[in-house]
Amino acid sequence: MKTESSEDVTRILVVGGGYVGMYTALRLQRKLKQELRQGTVEVIVVDPEPYMTYQPFLPEAAAGSISPRHVVVPLRRVLPQCKVVIGEVTAIDHEDRRATITTLAAEETGDGAIEVAYDELVLAPGSVSRALPVPGLADVGIGFKTVEEAIGLRNHVLGQLDIASSTRDPAVRDAALTFVFVGGGYAGVEALAELEDMARYAVRYYHNIQPEDMKWILVEATNRILPEVGPEMGRYAVRELRARNIDVRLETRLDSCEKHVAQLSDGSRFPTRTLVWTAGVKPHPILAATKLPLNGHGRLLCTPALQVDGVEHAWSAGDAAAVPDLTAEPPAGPDQPRALCAPNAQHAVRQSKVLAENLAAAVRGGPIVDYAHSYAGSVASLGLHKGVAHVYGRKLKGYPAWFMHRVYHLSRVPTFNRKARVLAEWTLAGLFKREIVSLGSLENPRAEFELAAGTGRHNEAS
Ligand SMILES: Cc1cc2nc3c(=O)[nH]c(=O)nc-3n(C[C@H](O)[C@H](O)[C@H](O)COP(=O)(O)OP(=O)(O)OC[C@H]3O[C@@H](n4cnc5c(N)ncnc54)[C@H](O)[C@@H]3O)c2cc1C
C-alpha cells in the first residue's frame, strides 16, 4: 500500500513520538495552524506506541509513587491536528523521500508495510539501551527505558520478596533478595534508589524478611556516579547510597551473568534473579538503515539549525542527533571535534522548539536560526525525600534537592492534565501508606480463564 503526497500539500513526516517528536509536532500545530486548517500542510507522526513517555518519571512509576498511565501522554489527544500512525518506520529512502512503515495491522494480517511519501522529514527515534556482549546478559538482563519495563521491574522486585518469603531453600532466598543494577547514570541510580526505598518499606509486611537480608548492588565502570550532577554531588550520592547499605562498586564491570550469577570484574560473584542493565544508550539502529550522514557514534550529523548536515528537507534533534553545542568552549585546534549537546531531555525539549520554528519558517520561506542552550544542570531523586541537584551552579542535597526534583519535573511534564494527576497522586501518597502489591499476573491475564477452560498450566500438570 502506498500513500502519495499531493503537489499542493506539504507533508511533514515525524518519525518518533517521544520528546522531540511530540514537542516538535505540538509546536508545528501551533505555528502552522492556518496551513493545517486549509489543508496545505499535513503532519504525520509515527511511533510504535500511542503515547509519549516522560522517562524521568519512570523510577517513580517503578516505586509506585506515580501510576503508569500518568507517566505517558496520549499522542492522539495532544495532537488533534496531526495524523498519528501507530507503527514502526523500518526504512527511509530520503533521495526518493519515502518511508516504509510497519503498522500493527500490517503485522497481524500480513498485508505488508505502508509506503509514505513526504516532503520534509523529522527523524527523532531517540536511542536504545547499549547492551554489551556480556555472557548471559541477553538472557537475563532487564532494561529501564520504557514504562512497561519500569512496571515489570516493580512487579518483579515485589515478586522476589514473595519468593524469598515462601521458599525453604536458602540459595533461592539469597538470589531472590539480591538486586544488581549495572550503570551509574540517572536511569540506573534513580531506579535502584527508588526501588530499594520501596522494597525496604514493603518488607515491614513480611514476617520473615528484614531490610538487611536484601542486597542491593550498583556496578559502575568509571570512578563516579551521576556525572550529570557534577563530581561533588556524585560523591555525595555514593555516600548517601552506601549509608543505606547499598553496595556501590565503582571502577567495576559486569563480566558475566550466566546461570543467574553476576560475576564482577573485582572477582565477586552474586547469585541473583534481578539484573537491571542501564549502562548507557546508543542511537536507534534505524539511523544506520538510512543513507543519511552519521558520526562515529552512529548519531545523525546535524547543523546547529537542526538540519541533517548537507541534506535538504531532513531534520533531527534529541538522542538521535549529533548537534554541535554552540555554548561549549570552541575546540583547541582545527583537528579537534566540536563538543556536542548531550543526549538528555533538557536538550531534546529545547531543540524541538527550535526545530519546529525552523521547519515552519522553511515551509513559509522565512529565515532559520541556530540552537544554543547552555546546560542548566540536573536533579536526581535518591528515593522518597532524598535527592541531589546541581542547577545553575547551586548544589543541593537531601530533602531540598528531592523537593526541587519534584517541582522541576512537575513543571516539565507535558499537559496540565498530567501535571494535575501527578500532583494529586503525590498528595495522596503523602496521606496514605505506600502501595506494595505486585500485579505480576497482569503479564498473563488469560491464566485464570485457561484454568477454567481446562487448558491452563495447572490442568496440564494434573
Ligand atoms: C529512566 C530514564 C530517566 C531519565 N531521566 C532524565 C532526566 O532526569 N533528565 C534528563 O534530561 N533526561 C533524562 N533521561 C533522558 C531523556 O529521557 C532522553 O534524553 C529523551 O527522552 C530523548 O528524547 P528523544 O525524543 O530523542 O527520544 P525518546 O524520547 O526516547 O523518543 C523516541 C521515540 O521514537 C520512537 N521510535 C523508535 N524507533 C522508531 C521507529 N523505527 N519508528 C517510529 N518511531 C520510533 C520511540 O518509540 C520513542 O517514542 C532519562 C532517560 C531514562 C531512560
The predicted model gives 48-60 an average pLDDT of 95
102 lines ligand 1 (CB under 6 A): no
Residue partners of 383: CB distance under 8 A and separation at least 6: 63, 193, 194, 196, 197, 244
Residue 188 alpha carbon to ligand 1 centre in Å? 15
pLDDT at 419: 94
- 342-352 confidence digits (pLDDT tens): 888 999 999 99
Q: Residue 197: which of 66, 67, 385, 54 has the closest Cα?
A: 385
The domain ranges of the chain are 2-129+282-364, 137-279+377-431
User: How high is the pLDDT of residue 171?
Assistant: 96
For residue 35, is pLDDT > 60? Answer: yes
Query: What's the CA-to-centroid distance between 344 and ligand 1, angstroms?
Result: 8
Q: Which runs of E-coded beta strand occur in 51-136?
A: 51-53, 72-74, 83-93, 98-103, 114-117, 120-123, 127-129
Closest by Cα among 88, 69, 120, 99 to 1: 99
Residue 236 in contact with ligand 1 by CB distance below 6 A: no
Atom of ligand 1 nearest to the CA of 345: 11
The verdict on the CB of residue 344 being under 6 Å from ligand 1 is: yes
Q: Is 280 in the pocket of ligand 1 (CB under 6 A)?
A: no
- Helices (DSSP H) in 40-116: which residue ranges? 58-63, 75-78, 104-109
Based on its alpha-carbon atoms, the radius of gyration of the chain, rounded to whole angstroms, reads 24
User: Is it true that 2-129+282-364 and 137-279+377-431 share their CATH fold?
Assistant: yes
**pLDDT for 231-265, tens place per residue?**
888 999 999 999 999 999 999 999 999 999 999 99
Measured distance CA(58)–CA(147) in Å, rounded: 6
- Please check whether residue 378 is in contact with residue 389, taking contact to mean a CB–CB distance below 8 angstroms: yes
Q: Which amino acid is at 62?
A: A
What predicted TM-score, i.e. pTM, was given to this entire model?
0.90
Check pocket membership of 153 for ligand 1, CB cut-off 6 A.
no
**What is the whole-number distance in angstroms between the Cα of residue 446 and the centre of ligand 1?**
32
Q: What is the pLDDT of residues 260-272, one digit of tens each?
A: 999 999 999 999 9
pLDDT per residue as tens digits for the range 86-116? 999 999 999 999 999 998 777 667 677 889 9
141 Cβ closer than 6 Å to some ligand 1 atom:
no
Which tops the pLDDT comparison, 428 or 111?
428
- H or E stretch including 409? helix 399-412
Ligand 1 centroid to Cα of residue 18, in Å, is 6
pLDDT beyond 80 at 462: no
Q: Which helix (H) or strand (E) holds 449?
A: helix 447-453
**Averaged pLDDT, 143-171:** 94
Averaged pLDDT score across all residues of the chain: 91
The sign of the dihedral angle between the CA atoms of 296, 299, 305, 310 is positive
Ligand 1: which of 44, 47, 104, 379 to mutate, most ligand atoms within 8 Å of CB? Answer: 47
Q: What is the mean pLDDT of residues 410-430?
A: 91
Per the listing, cell 496551513 goes with 35
Q: Which region among 23-37, 423-437, 440-454 has the lowest average model confidence (pLDDT)?
A: 440-454
* Range 401-408 average pLDDT: 91
Q: Give the three-class secondary structure for 189.
A: helix
The confidence score (pLDDT) of residue 244 equals 93
Query: Average pLDDT, stretch 394-403?
Result: 91
| Helix/strand/coil for 197 | helix
Confidence of residue 391 (pLDDT cuts 50, 70, 90): confident
Instruction: Grade residue 131 by pLDDT with cuts at 50, 70 and 90.
Output: confident
Q: Which residue has the cell 500512525?
A: 85
pLDDT digits (tens, 9 = 90+) for 308-335: 999 999 999 999 999 999 988 877 777 7
Sign of CA dihedral 293, 297, 300, 302: negative
CATH of domain 137-279+377-431: 3.50.50.100
Dist. CA 125 → ligand 1 center (Å)? 8
Q: What is the mean pLDDT of residues 118-122?
A: 97
Predicted local confidence at residue 449, as pLDDT: 73
pLDDT at 457: 63
pLDDT score, position 104: 78
CA–centroid distance, 127 to ligand 1, in Å, is: 6
Task: State the Cα–Cα distance between residues 343 and 196, nearest whole angstrom.
Answer: 27
SS3 letters for 204-253? HHCCCCCHHHCEEEEECCCCCCCHHHHHHHHHHHHHHHHHCCCEEECCCC
**Residue range 2-129+282-364 in CATH 3.40.50.1110:** no
- Determine contact, residues 14/43, Cβ cutoff 8 Å: yes
Q: Is 300's pLDDT higher than 70? A: yes
Cα 359 to averaged position of ligand 1 atoms, centre (Å) = 21
Mean pLDDT over residues 409-419, rounded?
91
Q: How many angstroms does the Cα of residue 113 sit away from the middle of ligand 1?
A: 25
d(CA 226, CA 398): 15
- What is the predicted pLDDT for the residue at 353? 96
CB of residue 73 inside a 6 A radius of ligand 1: no
Question: Which of 83, 319, 378, 379 most suits a substitution to test ligand 1, by most atoms within 8 Å of the C-beta?
Answer: 319
pLDDT at 459: 58
Q: Is the CB of 89 under 6 A from ligand 1?
A: yes
Cell reading at 301:
550529523
DSSP state of 349: H
Range name among 112-121, 389-398, 426-435 with the lowest pLDDT average: 426-435
